[in-house]
Structure 1
Amino acid sequence: MNPAVGLVALVVVSVATAVIGFYGLRISRTTGDFYVASRTVRPWWNASAIGGEYLSAASFLGVAGLILLSGTDALWFPVGYTAGYLMLLLFVAAPLRRSGAYTIPDFTEARLDSRAVRRVTSVVVVVVGWLYIVPQLHGAALTIRITTGLPAWVGSVAVVVVVCLTVVAGGMRSITFVQAFQYWLKLTALAVPVLFIVFALAGNGSAAVAPAAVNPTGLAPAGPYQNISLLVALLFGTLGLPHVLVRFYTNPDGQSARRTTLIVLGLLSVFYLFPTAYGLMGRMFAPDLARSGQADAVVLLLPGQLIGGTARDLLSALVVAGAFAAFLSTTSGLVVSLAGVISQDVLGGSVRGFRLAAVISAVVPLGFALSTDSLALAGSVGLVFAFTASTVCPVLLLGIWWRGLTDTGAIAGMVTGGVLCGGAMVSGAALGAAGTPFWLAQPAAWTVPAAFAVMVLVSRATRQRIPQTMARVMTRLHTPERPLATER
């Protein structure tokens, strides 16, 4: 790829993001605008924004890379990512919106009437957010290095600078416009090159590059435990992602939250067709990327290998722009959700505190990203899902659907899940991919049940701590509100 083409694409998408973000500044006036866009985001806008922030580096680059490496075993990732939203629709979306909270710690404090639960939840949410931001910055570093030849750190720093500018400018309302735009950019950036490749191969009557063996890497297929554990992580982890959950607070009511989730399911289903196609075509026409350790770059490099002439540069530029949009949109969503938590719990909850918290939320993971090496993108994000499924998810599901949950039980369950899953992640990093046992490499199958079990058992042992406000809060969570006039 021509380095100038990649650099122009990155500049264009960064400028477009900044311009849209500053447009949001013009209509962001109140604290509610910054935290939840004054709860006025309609389903189509919100669904596009959720798609923009949820489809991260793991979705845009990592899924295709894993399919290139592992074939059909990697299809659990798009299936799990999409099915997780069905879980959201069934169990979380509407009750969470009816709670009236700004953040997940707001919800747990209101549900359990406990400041201690709020503090523990805040710490967990911040840890989850920072763990999730680091792979986005690694993906940006990979993209910059491959497409422009610049030092890898430039990509990570560029993402943090652009995200800080847009979030500080207009908060949630600004980011909603940015992320909705970036979903459609990402979809276009994947779909158009795939269609060009298909038409080019069909028009030539044969492939420009000879198809390779069905299994170019020779990797053994994953066993039943790994697949089940991965699916548990993705299904339950989606329920606890702070940057996704905060978007439901921006809907006008619970009915629109459900409608938003249905639209998101459709948008995700369409999107994941294309990374899957890239991975399959990569196994056929670019197996050398797997052997050279560049599997995560198959989306970036495949159009240039199969298409020639001016079209090659244009399609490559489009893919680079979409990849950078993926890093920007997911990172901005995470920074908004973390800024809401940090500003309310530490900095007083003002707009000025939100802006300072946004900078802190972005700069800290930047330090980790610059000091660590990139792992396989989808695999590293899968571990973040496992951690989220073991901590935030149990307290949300039980808080919404079980009247017997207590503050002591919630804290015990979150701490247990965090220690077990975090210990597995640290052990896996220390042992390396080759030396990590399968049950540590994919820990969700045992850490998630352990967190739920501890939360239930400790709550039953501390029944006297069920809050007196429980009945009133549960009624609010499960009583449908009357739709707004504008929604009729």
Structure 2
Amino acid sequence: MNEALPGVVAVVVVTVATLAIGTWGLRFSRTTSDFMVASRTVRPRLNASAIGGEYLSAASFLGIAGLVLVRGTEMMWYPVGWTAGYLVLLVLVAAPLRRSGAYTLSDFAEARLQSRRVRALCSVIVVLIGWLYLLPQFQGAGITLQATIGAPRWFGEVVVPAVVLVNVLAGGMRSITFVQAFQYWLKLTALLLPLLALLIVWLGDGAPHPVDATGAGPDPTAWALPLAGGDGQGLYLTCSLIVATFLGTMGLPHVVVRFYTNPDGRAARRTTLVVLTLLGLFYLLPPAYGALGRVYADALVREGRSDVLVLELPRIMIPGLAGDLLTALVTAGAFAAFLSTSSGLAIAVAGVLGQDVTGRPVGARRLSGVAAFRAGCVIAIAVPCLLALLVPGVGVARAVGLAFAVAASTFCPLLVLGIWWRGLTTAGAIAGLLVGAGGSGAAVLWNLSTPPGDRWGSVLLQQPAAWSVPAAFVTMWLVSVATRARVPVDVHRFMVRLHTPEQVPLERGQLSDSPAGG
């Protein structure tokens, strides 16, 4: 049997299943609210599975295992932070954000501060974060199909955007909810079953413990240290990574939009609790692949191909048909990861573009809500697809980590202060967003164009969150205090709306679901 054939079948099956479920979901999508937030009717268990499907991206499925292989246990802060970020979101943001009645982060900003300028700035940042996050998804798809079925790298970078575009155009958020819920359980199965087989092989052949192996990555002592060697730079990188992942989750547009799909604030909290369980279960698996790779796949480190560890380890450890079939299953999970995360990001970016770009009048003509959303979706996917084809490949987890840093430096201060502090002003919000976006954005550009270095200036730019997040918070607070006379006049009414459970009756109109905040 051609060893690529099972992988080809796996990719085709996942693609067909994705399109079939998305087409089925089209029956329920009619209005703009259906396309953008599923008319706020998604129940917690379904929504949690869908969030798990879109949140567990290429960085989770492929990147973590490769990072653990190369750099050791310090990289396990990625899954810890990505999971704990939902705990922070649960405590500070989930229920009030749902009660805001917004469709997008831009809607929330405008409703809270009554400012079109803040809305416009938020829209730009949402689009940039979305594109930065989509880039590694598409490039990861190219790497996966190249490694498993021998396809040229551009093939995966085109196929995934095409499938996502068809699915999102067909039914928007309603269709994608069903697709992503299916894809979470597929990804979990695709990692769990092969891992069980690999562990049986490892236990049976007397191979050394990963901590005792010396063939791959750093020496055993350094590989087992969780703080990057324990020196000043390593400690800074770890702390900055924790800040980015803990606080960046609440600022990711495709994560936040999911909480607008819940029926009420209580459902949003329940959804988050289930998500924590699902993510915790999944993130037990990739580090185990990284540890086994240290014993069996040191060649991937020498070749600079650590991102394909999950895909190639089954064939390395189990030659023959069994290894090919396990590789096909892992390939199916990886392909599902690209499709599900890309779909969520496409909807988040398309929602903003549909409201603020394609939905605006051009002369005497103006696209309807659904048509504007679909036009925005084309733009949302086309730009990162072109970038994936033109820009050299970047580390999957590294690029996603930078997206978290940007989100933590911009929308985290805006949401925390906007929800919990009455004194936030338009001037303060704009100043803080510009400082956070400027600092983290400069770091992104530096990382994408310059190899990592060992000087402190280079280290500070590798992981900017430790300084860019405090700078954004302090700037937003100081400028707001200096312009306290400009606090929105109806801030008290909006804060009551955010913090009052839906079961408590308020004055008429207070709980309207309009994006402008009622």
TM-score normalised by the shorter chain: which range applies? over 0.9
1:468-487 superposed Cα distances (whole Å, 9 cap, x missing partner): 1100100000001129xxxx
Kindly provide the amino acid, as one letter, of the partner of residue 82 in structure 1. Answer: T
1:359 aligns with 2:378: yes
Q: Which residue is 1:372 aligned to?
A: 391
Q: How does 1:175-254 map to 2 (within 5 A)?
A: 175-202=176-203, 204-207=204-207, 213-214=213-214, 216-218=216-218, 221=228, 223-254=234-265
Taking the aligned partners of 1:325 and 1:425, their CA distance within structure 2 comes to 27
Among 478, 495, 498, the alignment partner of 1:474 is 495
1:239-278 superposed Cα distances (whole Å, 9 cap, x missing partner): 1000000000000000010000000000000000110110
Q: Which residue is 1:172 aligned to?
A: 173
My pick for the range that moved more, 238-247 or 338-347, is 338-347
Kindly provide the amino acid, as one letter, of the partner of residue 428 in structure 2. Answer: G
Taking the aligned partners of 2:444 and 2:101, their CA distance within structure 1 comes to 34
Q: How does 1:396-407 map to 2 (within 5 A)?
A: 396-407=415-426
Q: How does 1:11-30 map to 2 (within 5 A)?
A: 11-30=12-31
Taking the aligned partners of 2:102 and 2:492, their CA distance within structure 1 comes to 17
1:366-406 superposed Cα distances (whole Å, 9 cap, x missing partner): 11111111222111211111111111111111101111000
1:260 aligns with 2:271: yes
Taking the aligned partners of 1:310 and 1:250, their CA distance within structure 2 comes to 44
Provide the secondary structure at the position in 2 that maps to 1:100.
coil
1:439 aligns with 2:440: no
* Offset, 1:214: 4.5
Q: Which residue is 1:278 aligned to?
A: 289
Following TM superposition, the consecutive aligned residue runs of length 4 or more in structure 1 with deviations greater than 4 angstroms are 207-212
* Offset, 1:205: 4.7
Contact kept in structure 2, 1:131 and 1:384, CA below 8 Å: yes
For structure 2, the 5+ residue unaligned runs are 223-227, 360-367, 505-518
Kindly provide the amino acid, as one letter, of the partner of residue 55 in structure 1. Answer: L
Q: Which residue is 2:485 aligned to?
A: 464
Taking the aligned partners of 1:139 and 1:14, their CA distance within structure 2 comes to 16
Taking the aligned partners of 1:182 and 1:230, their CA distance within structure 2 comes to 27
Kindly provide the amino acid, as one letter, of the partner of residue 357 in structure 1. Answer: G
| Alpha-carbon distance change, 261 to 13 in structure 1, aligned in 2, over 3 angstroms | same
* Offset, 1:198: 1.7
Provide the secondary structure at the position in 2 that maps to 1:432.
coil
Q: Aligned-pair RMSD on alpha carbons?
A: 1.7
Contact kept in structure 1, 2:394 and 2:448, CA below 8 Å: no
Taking the aligned partners of 2:133 and 2:420, their CA distance within structure 1 comes to 27
* Offset, 1:431: 3.0
Identity fraction in percent = 58
Taking the aligned partners of 2:124 and 2:325, their CA distance within structure 1 comes to 44
Contact kept in structure 2, 1:209 and 1:306, CA below 8 Å: no
Provide the secondary structure at the position in 2 that maps to 1:102.
coil
Kindly provide the amino acid, as one letter, of the partner of residue 132 in structure 1. Answer: Y
Q: Which residue is 1:96 aligned to?
A: 97
Provide the secondary structure at the position in 1 that maps to 2:452.
helix
Among 424, 427, 439, the alignment partner of 1:420 is 439
Q: How does 1:39-54 map to 2 (within 5 A)?
A: 39-54=40-55
Provide the secondary structure at the position in 1 that maps to 2:72.
helix
1:393 aligns with 2:412: yes
Provide the secondary structure at the position in 2 that maps to 1:239.
helix
Kindly provide the amino acid, as one letter, of the partner of residue 158 in structure 2. Answer: V
| Alpha-carbon distance change, 291 to 212 in structure 1, aligned in 2, over 3 angstroms | farther
* Offset, 1:284: 1.6
Provide the secondary structure at the position in 2 that maps to 1:101.
coil
Taking the aligned partners of 2:447 and 2:128, their CA distance within structure 1 comes to 18
* Offset, 1:215: 6.8
* Offset, 1:110: 0.4
Provide the secondary structure at the position in 2 that maps to 1:35.
helix
Contact kept in structure 2, 1:212 and 1:283, CA below 8 Å: no
Taking the aligned partners of 1:376 and 1:433, their CA distance within structure 2 comes to 12
Contact kept in structure 1, 2:210 and 2:292, CA below 8 Å: no
Question: Aligned pair count?
Answer: 482
Kindly provide the amino acid, as one letter, of the partner of residue 433 in structure 2. Answer: M
Q: TM-score normalized by structure 2?
A: 0.90
For structure 1, the 5+ residue unaligned runs are 484-488
My pick for the range that moved more, 82-91 or 220-229, is 220-229
